[in-house]
Amino acid sequence: MGNGRVEITDTATVQSTSYGQAIVIIFNGKVSVSGNAALKSASSHGTVYIDRSQVDSSLLKITGGTIENSGSGYAIKCNTRNAVTIPGGTSVIKGNGAVSNACIDLGGYNDVRVMASETSRDGKSGVEEIHPGWLKVDSYGKSYKYLNSRLRPTSRESAKRVYQPG
């Protein structure tokens, strides 16, 4: 994708049926992923591949959905900084290689809860809460195979889950 905008929303699925990327962003193309959308590939590079040397604004905006790489690559492979933002919503990013090779900005997300696993791509084991600022450091995205970001539950919602009157 060159200089356009693409919105992948609701229950849309973008999937590479071979070993290529599901989405490639070059130049000034912008992609938004929201709702229950799914981006899937088995690429050794990345499910979403961002090839750009300099970025002045986000090229990939994630407010929902799932980005998954079942091959040996990253879910998001990015050749630049500041290209990926998660400003809100609930999203899951998972990759056999890792979530991403570049930083992911959650800075605009108020009261976010980020759950991550270094060992399990499906998020079923080794999941712990991490500080969202860690993902602004390139090397931290490479540490995780599973990432789930969502609004932190209020203390009242947490209490409902803990105390279940019988």
The span from the first CA to the last CA of the chain, in angstroms, equals 55
Structure-block tokens of residue 31: 């992609």
Residue with tokens 């938004």: 32
DSSP category for residue 154: P
The model's pTM? 0.85
Q: Which domain holds residue 126?
A: 5-162
How far apart CA 58 and CA 33 sit, in angstroms, is: 12
Q: Give the tens place of pLDDT for each residue, 102-146.
A: 888 887 777 888 999 999 988 889 999 988 887 877 667 788 999
| One-letter amino acid for residue 73 of the chain | G
Q: How far, in Å, are 39, 80, 105, 107, 110 from residue 133 at the CA level?
A: 25, 18, 8, 8, 12
Structure-block tokens of residue 83: 């290209």
All residues at 6 or more sequence positions from 70 whose CB lies less than 8 Å from its CB, including other chains: 40, 41, 42, 96, 121
Q: How many domains does the chain have?
A: 1
Is the predicted pLDDT of residue 155 greater than 60, yes or no?
no
Amino acid 161: pLDDT: 42
Which of the four pLDDT bands, split at 50, 70 and 90, describes residue 48?
A: very high
Q: Give the tens place of pLDDT for each residue, 62-104.
A: 999 999 999 999 999 988 877 899 999 999 999 988 999 888 8
